[in-house]
Amino acid sequence: MQLNWQIVTLQLKETFSISYGNYTHREALIISLSHYGFTGYGECTSIDYYGIDLNDLMNQLNLSKTLIESSKMLYPLEFYSFLLKLNLSSFLTSALDCAYWDLFGKLENKNFLELNKIRPNHLPDSSITISVASIDEQIEKIKKSNWSNFKVKCKGFDEKIIRRFSELEQSIALDSNGSFTEIDCGKLQQNIDSAQFTYIEQPMPIGYYSILNRNLHANWMADEDCQTIENLRSLQPHYKSVNIKLVKCGGLTPALELIKTARDLDFKIMIGCMTESTVGISAGAFLAPLADYADLDGANLIANDIADGSKIINGKIQLSEKPGLGISML
C-alpha cells in the first residue's frame, strides 16, 4: 500500500465568521492510500481553535509512513485498530481511516453503505451555515437561500435577536461556538420559545455545561463537548443532542460505534463537518442515514472544490453510488 499526502488551500466563497474568528480560507491535508491501481482519499483541515497544525500532522505522517505502507490489506476495523497503535492526532487518524474505507470499497467493488449494511431510507436535509453578521444581514441571507435548514452563528447573546430568529418560519438552529454565559443559557432553557429552534449548539465553552438541562425547552447540542465515546454519559443529563464530526472522533470506524452508543443513551444525532472539500463531506454523508440532523455544507462554502463524490444540493444529500466513498479528484 502506498501513502501520499498534499496540502491544498481551500478558498471560501465569502468570509466565514464565527465567535472564534474570521476566516477567508482553510488549509486542508489530503491523504491518499493506493493499492493495485486503486486510490482512496481522506481529508482533515487546519483548525486553530482545535490546536490543529498541518505541519505537526505531516511530521506524524513522516514518522509513520513506513509502518502504514508495510501494513497488510486488512478489513477496515482491523486497520483502524492498527492506526490506534500509532498514537496519531484524531484529525489525522480520521483522514487515514476514511481514505482506507474508500480504498477498501474500491478494491472490493462495494459501496460504504453495502459494506456496513446501512439502508439509506432516511436522509435528513443538511443545514447551511449563516456566518456572524448583523441580524438584518443574516435574515436577508436566509430569505434569499434555496436551502430549507439554517444554522445561524452567534457571537454572544442578545435576547431581542434570539426572539427575532425564533419568530422566523424557516427551520433555524443556533450555534454560539461557546459564546453564551450561564445566565444566557438559564434564560434560554426556561423560555418556551427556545423550542422553536431545531437545536442550540455548543452554547458555552468546553466543559461548562453543568447548568444545561436536557429536559427543559432548549434542545442543547454538544459539539466541542462531544469528542469521543468516553464522555457521552457525562453529557447525558445536560445535552439532548450530539454533533458527531469525523475528525473529532477519529474517522468513520469510531463514528459508527459512537452513533450506536449515543442512540442507546437516547441522544439525537447530527453528522457535522468542518469547512471541508467534497473529500471530507463525502465521508460524513454516508453516516447521514443514521442521523436525525445533518450539517454537511462544508464543500458548498468553498470556491475551489477539489473532488467529486457525494453532493449536497440545496440541502438535499445525494450519496454517491460508486464503490468505497465514491471519491475522485478533479
Span 19-30, average pLDDT:
91
- Domain covering 115-329: architecture: Alpha-Beta Barrel (3.20)
With cut-offs at 50, 70 and 90, classify the pLDDT of residue 17: confident
Give the model confidence (pLDDT) of 248-302 as tens digits: 999 999 999 999 999 999 999 999 999 999 999 999 999 999 999 999 999 999 9
State if pTM tops 0.85: yes
279, 307 contact by CB (below 8 A): yes
pLDDT at 86: 97
pLDDT at 19: 78
Give the model confidence (pLDDT) of 299-328 as tens digits: 999 999 999 999 999 999 999 999 999 999
Q: Are strands 220-222 and 241-244 parallel, antiparallel or unpaired?
A: parallel
HSE toward the beta carbon, residue 146, CA cutoff 13 A: 6
Pick from 23-27, 101-105, 123-127: least confident: 23-27
Average of per-residue pLDDT values in the chain: 96
Per-residue pLDDT for 8 more than 90?
A: yes
Span 102-125, average pLDDT:
97
Per the structure block, which three cell numbers stand in for 142? 436566509
Entry field: residues in the chain: 330
Residue extents of the structural domains in the chain: 2-110, 115-329
Distance CA 42, CA 93 (A): 10
Distance CA 32, CA 176 (A): 34
Give the model confidence (pLDDT) of 136-173 as tens digits: 999 999 999 999 999 999 999 999 999 999 999 899 99
**How many CB atoms are closer than 10 A to CB 143?**
9
**Can you name the CATH fold of 2-110?**
Enolase-like; domain 1 (3.30.390)
